[in-house]
Structure 1
Amino acid sequence: MCGPSSRRSSRTPGGCCGPTPRRAPTERFADIAGFEGENDPDGAGPDSNPNAVVASRKGAAVVDAGGNSLLSVTRSGDVALIATFPTREEPAPDIPGGPPAGTPIPSQSVPTSVAVAKGGAFLVGELRGFPFPVGGADLYRVAGGEPTVVAEGFTNVIDVEVGPHGTWYVLELASDGLLAAGESGLPMGRLLRVTPDGGDPVVVADDLPAPGGVAIRKGRAYVTVNSVLPGEGQVLAVPLT
């Protein structure tokens, strides 16, 4: 494990951390917030929080969690709308200063993640806004600009990934909902495996503290945890067999 106590000079051959990466110059390629401000596709008022991006055949696709939208970005940086995701009503929880418990209140979609599914369609997962309903998050397939629910019953999805044979992997940020917290005070999430042809999700890993993202490589899922704790983030390798 490479850390401050074991780090060798980047000039030393065989150093455990390898060469110190150089910071490449950056420039703004596409103005996602600008597009949201000018167009407000979901009609809920301008609010932009680009949360995930995936390469596509024509450039890239971006989910804007604040704008409840999936956007395309061309290689020249032009932004266009692919789809928006619906707001639904949920019963208000019993909290001080809030409306009476059970009052229907709007809960936005808050799409947080996007991957390219088999056949080229986009797979989008949603967090759901306050009151962050347990079991209220859906998984969408987006083709031709129309989002279709392909799996449901998730809680606060933070990432999705497509694995071998087209299998879907869904990462929940807080499997008991964001209004609950584990003993550590962190939301506790889990990684689920979903087959596109139906069937109940299978838990691959649970009790994940504040997971932030997942990548699938060579029979393993690599999951980031402690994602909200500065200096304490980790990557866990989870076997998929």
Structure 2
Amino acid sequence: MLKHLTFATIGATIVALGLGNTALAATFEIIASDLDNPRGLTIGSNGSLYITEAGRGGTGPCIPSPANPTASVCYGSTGALTRIENGTVSRVVTGLPSLAAPDGSEALGVHDVAFDSTGRPYVLVGLGSNPAVRSTLGVLEFGQLLKINALNGGSDWATIADVSVFRQSEHPDRGEVDSNPYSFVIQNNTAYIADAGANDLLKVNLDNGEVDLAAVFDSRLVTNPFGGSDIPMQSVPNAVASGSDDTVYVGELTGFPFPVGGARVYRVADGVPEVFAEGFTNIIDLDFDSNGNLHVLEYATDGLLSGDLTGALIRLNPDGTRTTLLKEGLFAPTSFTFGDSGDIFIANRGIAVGQGEIIRFNYDDDSESVPEPSSWIGLLAIASVGGFLKVSRR
């Protein structure tokens, strides 16, 4: 089945059961459109917004589709890193590797972007398959962390680390050999990478490219939606954020059966994932605002099995309640980031070829909050702080 597709709480643990959710009035504008499978977002050192486009594949070598083994996804150099600067949208890096079905769907490619402390950009290229398939494709950049050497519209990059080969050799979660690096953050000189296919968090030394295991996210038993005994569900960690204490927070999409309210946010300290918050559905991204409030982006707020890809951006408030900042108008959102003026940018229609868009919105926090029924009200645990996708899986 389809596997598809910072806060500083000091001194105490907050536990709340069944806390309500509110929805704020919000307006947004589309600042970029006609994108090919937009995925990761970040603000660069110059204040410009950068977007990764996973591309539309091409007519090159093909491999079985991770979502449908009876079909194929084929290679093309159609991925890009795109910049929005002073209202102008331009592709500043082109020719990045992409895999997709003939119609451009099921795209796998450049999934995320981040800048180091010197302002140098890095991009993460996904895979969604056994790393051995790269020999068939003849393209090794899949499953790798790349350093971008120039933002001039060309194809100038260098490989920093082969993330997927670590999965192939180390096999940390002891499951099938499958790697899909999806999201990463840079702390000091280390990149922390969520591999949604491998169910692990890796760390890469940006000086020498050394790859190490940071954490493994185990499967857990959940209710079988079709009846019978409980079944194992994979974590599918595909979202990473930095905490104000330089720890790492990881959100999970969850694997089949994608239960509503089944996704968790973990705080990773000393290699041990601890549940930080739960009761979310199909998390695709998360981050902390300047006030330390956790924001979570849901890819499909009613769950992937519903067939409804309406997403939601949710803020976890200091008192443990949740506020839905934006839901209407979100369709398969894939990432978000904070601007300098209270704006929030969201990659919307992130699985669409030529239809992807970037939304900018600013919510009115003083507006009247309207109670919203929660489809995933449950246990919320905010642990004390001391100090993606995979896009698919059968």
| Distance in 1 (alpha carbons) for counterparts of 2:177 and 2:261 | 27
Contact 1:181 1:188 in 2 (8 A): no
TM-aligned CA distance change 1:158 to 1:3, over 3 Å: closer
Could you tell me which of 227, 237, 253 is aligned with 1:111?
237
| Residue 170 of structure 2: aligned partner | 39
Aligned residue number for residue 210 of structure 2 = 78
Question: 1:203 maps to what in 2?
Answer: 324
Q: CA RMSD in A?
A: 2.1
User: One-letter code of the match for 1:221?
Assistant: I
Q: Does 1:216 align with 2:338?
A: yes
Classify 1:151/1:29 alpha carbon distance in 2 versus 1 (closer, same or farther; 3 Å).
Answer: same
Describe the shift of the 1:17–1:135 C-alpha distance in structure 2 as closer, same or farther (beyond 3 A).
Answer: closer
Task: Tell me the distance in 1 between the aligned counterparts of 2:246 and 2:32.
Answer: 38
Q: Partner residue of 1:10?
A: none
2:221 corresponds to:
89
Question: Do the aligned residues in 2 keep the contact of 1:227 with 1:233 (CA within 8 Å)?
Answer: yes
Quote the offset at 1:28 in angstroms: 2.2
Query: What secondary structure is seen at the aligned counterpart in 1 of 2:168?
Result: helix
TM-score (norm 2): 0.53
- Ranges of 4+ aligned residues in structure 1 off by more than 6 Å: 1-4
Distance 1:18 1:47 in 2: 33
Q: Residue 204 of structure 1 aligns to which amino acid in structure 2?
A: L
1:1-241 correspondence to structure 2 within 5 Å: 16-17=88-89, 21-75=152-206, 76-94=208-226, 101-182=227-308, 187-195=309-317, 197=318, 199-207=320-328, 208-218=330-340, 219-240=342-363, 241=365
Q: Percent identity?
A: 37
Equivalent pairs, count:
221
TM-fit CA distance, 1:221: 1.3
Q: Which has the higher contact order (CA 8 A, sep 6+)?
A: 2
Write the distance in 2 (CA, Å) between the matches of 1:171 and 1:51: 15
Does the 8 Å CA contact 2:297/2:335 hold for their aligned counterparts?
A: yes
In structure 2, stretches of 5+ residues that fail to align are: 1-30, 35-85, 93-151, 366-394
What does the per-residue CA deviation read over 1:100-121, in whole Å, with 9 as the maximum and x for residues that have no partner? Answer: x233111000001001011111
Deviations 1:139-198 (A, max 9, x none): 11111111111110000000011111211110000100001123xxxx111000114x55
Measured against aligned partners, the alpha-carbon deviations of 1:78-136 in whole angstroms (never above 9, x if no partner) come to: 10001111211122223xxxxxx233111000001001011111011000000001100
Q: Which runs of 5+ in 1 are unaligned?
A: 5-13, 95-100
SS at structure 2 position matched to 1:38: helix
Q: What is the CA distance between 1:22 and its match in structure 2?
A: 1.7
TM, length-normalised to structure 1: 0.85
